Structure 1
Amino acid sequence: MPDTVTSPAELAQRIRRLAEQREVVIVGIAGYGGSGKSTLARALQALLPDAARVRGDDFLDPLGSRDRSDDWLALHRDELAAVLEALRAGRPADFLPVDWATGGRQPARVASVAAVQLVDAVGLLHPELLPLLDLTVWVDVPLETATVRGMRRDREAGDDHDALWREVWAPNERAFDARHAPRERADLRYAPPVPDSP
């Protein structure tokens, strides 16, 4: 059973120890939509001056994410894998982020080389990506709680995605769980100290 950490500082210390053993450490931060993956990634980036972040949302097709899938097919894993492979080799990586407003692509960006690479995404702990991740972390928030958080976050941003959360995204998470068991595959579980109640 994976160990549990309860603070970003504790997790950052584990990452530092791993970074002492290799030139580049790629940390995969997974969890349900709305669980706090991005929040944890930002907190770790603030604690680890030598860390860079690869946002999973830059590789998540906004149109494809409206479809039911047991494999989170909307995540462009091949593109994300190419970026991670380059970063592991110490090379910056060009990529074309998706555009959530239009469904197309944004102008090219460059993922910078860093000793620690943090990547957060839904559908991340997948057999195609696991070999590229040196440390995997599951943000351990129940699906119901994460879904409520996600709906609230979107409404606060002016987007009513409640139907998508209930009818597509939460079912996709359950189906991905059944197929790939990401919570059990993770090296560590991160338990936020005071999870919200649904």
Structure 2
Amino acid sequence: MLNSHYDRDVELDELIDRIEVQRRRTGRPIVVGVSGYCGSGKSTLTRQIVDALPGAVRMRGDDFLDPSRSHRRSSDWDGVERSRLVSEVLAPLREGRPSMFRRYDWTRRGLGEPESLPDAQVLAVDLIGLFHPEALPTIDLAIWCDVDLQTAARRGLARDAKLGRNHEGLWRDVWIPNERDFQDQFSPRAHADVLYPTSL
């Protein structure tokens, strides 16, 4: 990752240009990490990036969550399986070597069948707890969805309600405290190359 300075108040077109420049400069497939608080707009932004960039593929963060652990208190988002993401996906993609990976199958409540690593020039990964020492070395461009935790949580609760899910207890007792602990311990916003405002 670059992390030489922050881009602030970046428009989507500027962000896409920045990713293209990074890919050309690097001369190999790159990993774009999109992180932020729960409800900050990570998935929406990642889909926009992939739609705008030929040769870009999204890797869903939910494919690398263990719900039995992501639904309990931890200071480092223990339910995020960063080591599996790095070893099976991010490192092989950047090194140009084939790899097999497994998504978490939410229907079966376990890991799914092995799949080949997708052919991508840009792999965009959206995930809570991504800007962590385990994963940061394998991220070429780190984008933080820049919205405060209170706003992100309000959005997340509204999204859950719209989908008929009552997660108020989880938000209050687990996810919001986890976000605060992760922020205090790892300062993920400070590790971003780009702060992308998603407060509107």
Aligning the two structures, in what range does the TM-score lie when normalised by the shorter sequence? Answer: over 0.9
- Distance change in 2, residues 1:113/1:91 (3 Å): farther
> Runs of 4+ in structure 1 displaced over 6 angstroms?
none
Alpha-carbon shift at residue 101 of structure 1 (Å): 4.1
Q: Are 2:143 and 1:137 aligned?
A: yes
1:90-109 matched pairs, under 5 angstroms: 90-109=96-115
Higher deviation after alignment, 11-20 or 90-99? 90-99
Name 1:26's counterpart in structure 2: 31
Q: TM-score, normalised by structure 2?
A: 0.91
1:3-152 matched pairs, under 5 angstroms: 3-22=7-26, 23-82=28-87, 83-152=89-158
Aligned positions, number: 194
Alpha-carbon shift at residue 102 of structure 1 (Å): 4.5
1:118-197 matched pairs, under 5 angstroms: 118-192=124-198, 195=200
The answer to whether the 8 Å contact 2:30/2:93 transfers is no
Question: Where does the alignment leave 5 or more consecutive residues of structure 1 unmatched?
Answer: none
The answer to whether the 8 Å contact 2:29/2:121 transfers is yes
Alpha-carbon shift at residue 18 of structure 1 (Å): 0.9
CA distance in 2, matches of 1:153, 1:106: 26
1:96-116 CA-to-partner distances (Å, cap 9, x unmatched) read 211334532233333302111
Higher deviation after alignment, 67-76 or 102-111? 102-111
Alpha-carbon shift at residue 92 of structure 1 (Å): 4.3
The answer to whether the 8 Å contact 1:31/1:140 transfers is yes
How well do the aligned residues superpose, as a CA RMSD in angstroms?
1.5
Question: Where does the alignment leave 5 or more consecutive residues of structure 2 unmatched?
Answer: none
Q: Percent of pairs identical after alignment?
A: 45
CA distance in 1, matches of 2:116, 2:147: 32
The answer to whether the 8 Å contact 1:63/1:103 transfers is no
1:31-73 CA-to-partner distances (Å, cap 9, x unmatched) read 0011000100000001101111111110011111111011011
